[in-house]
C-alpha cells in the first residue's frame, strides 16, 4: 500500500498534542487515514526536527523522545521516508523559494515520492512547489 500524503513536522506535532490546531481538512484527512489504517508518510528530517523540539525549553509534546519514537515505530499508519540521494538532488533543484533546510527536505521528499503535503506553512503553500492539504 502506498502513502497517501506526507505530513509536515508541525502537522504531526499538532495531531499528537492539540488536534484543534489542525484545519478541518487536515483533521478529516488524518482521521480517515487512521480509521482506514491508510499509511501516511513522514520525512526522516521530521524525526530530527521533533528531537530538537522535544529537547528544547518548551517542548510542544509532553512525552519522552524514546516513547514517541517507539509509538511511531509501532503504529502501522506511519511510513518514514529516508533522506535519499534523490531527495538531496531535489532539494538542490528547488531553487531559492524556501530557505529553511527542513522545509526544503520535506518538500523535496513529497516531490520525489509524488505525495501531497499536509502543511499550514504559508511559505510552502505559496511556493506552489508541491500540492498541499492545508
pLDDT, one tens digit per residue, over 68-118 is 899 889 888 889 999 999 999 999 999 898 999 999 999 999 999 999 999
With 0-12 / 13-18 / 19 or more C-beta atoms within 10 angstroms meaning exposed / middle / buried, residue 7 is: buried
pLDDT, one tens digit per residue, over 18-47 is 889 999 999 999 999 888 888 899 999 999
**DSSP readout, 50-94?**
HHHHHTSSS-SS-S-HHHHHHHHHH-TTEEEEP--HHHHHHHHHT
> Out of 3.40.50.300, 3.90.1150.10, 3.30.750.210, 3.40.50.1010, which CATH number does the structure's domain 5-133 have?
3.40.50.1010
Q: In the chain, what are the domain boundaries?
A: 5-133
Q: What is the pTM of this model?
A: 0.91
Amino acid at each position: 500500500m502506498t502513502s497517501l500524503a506526507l505530513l509536515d513536522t508541525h502537522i504531526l506535532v499538532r495531531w499528537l498534542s492539540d488536534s484543534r490546531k489542525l484545519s478541518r481538512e487536515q483533521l478529516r484527512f488524518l482521521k480517515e487515514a487512521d480509521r482506514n489504517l491508510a499509511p501516511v508518510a513522514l520525512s526522516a528530517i521530521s524525526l530530527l526536527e521533533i528531537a530538537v523540539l522535544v529537547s528544547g525549553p518548551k517542548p510542544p509534546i509532553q512525552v519522552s523522545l524514546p516513547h514517541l519514537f517507539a509509538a511511531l515505530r509501532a503504529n502501522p499508519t506511519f511510513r518514514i521516508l529516508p533522506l535519499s540521494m534523490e531527495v538531496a538532488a531535489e532539494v538542490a533543484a528547488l531553487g531559492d523559494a524556501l530557505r529553511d533546510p527542513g522545509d526544503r527536505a520535506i518538500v523535496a521528499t513529497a516531490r520525489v515520492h509524488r505525495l501531497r503535503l499536509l502543511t499550514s506553512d504559508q511559505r510552502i503553500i505559496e511556493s506552489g512547489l508541491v500540492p498541499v492539504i492545508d
